[in-house]
Amino acid sequence: MAHGEGCFFADPETLGELNANEQVILRYADNQGQVVPEANPNGSIQNIAGICNRERNVFGLMPHPDRASDPHLGSADGSKIFLSMMHTVRATRSAKAVEPIKQVA
C-alpha cells in the first residue's frame, strides 16, 4: 500500500457481474489467505484489490506491487505478480507457436 486512501467500490449490479464473471482477480487477505475485514487496509468493498475486464486482458489493481518487488525495498512479495504475468505470457506464446497452421481451401 502506498497511501491507504483509495478503495474499490461499485454498485450492487456491477459487483454481482464482476463476481459472476470471475473478474475479481485479487482480494486483500491475511497471512493465512483468509479474506477478512482486518486484512482490508483501505475499506474496499468485499476486500477487492484488483479486477480485470471481461476479455481478461486488462488488469487494474490498487496495491503497488512495484513497491515490494525486491528485498532491497523491504519485500519481494510484489514480484510474484510480475513473475506470474511473465510466465503466463511465455506459456501463451509457446502454445501459439506449436498450434498447427490451418490451411484455407
Are 55 and 71 part of one and the same domain?
Answer: no
Taking only the tens place, the pLDDT of each residue in 15-32 is: 999 999 999 999 999 999
* Residue 104 placed within a domain: no
Are 16 and 56 part of one and the same domain?
Answer: yes
Are 24 and 57 part of one and the same domain?
Answer: yes
Count structural domains, the chain. 2
Are 18 and 57 part of one and the same domain?
Answer: yes
Range of the domain at 80: 64-98
* Residue 105 placed within a domain: no
- Decide: residue 56, CB within 10 A, 0-12 exposed, 13-18 middle, 19+ buried: exposed
Taking only the tens place, the pLDDT of each residue in 47-81 is: 999 999 999 889 888 878 788 888 988 888 888 88
Stated as kind and residue range, the H or E segment containing 81 is helix 79-97
pTM: 0.70
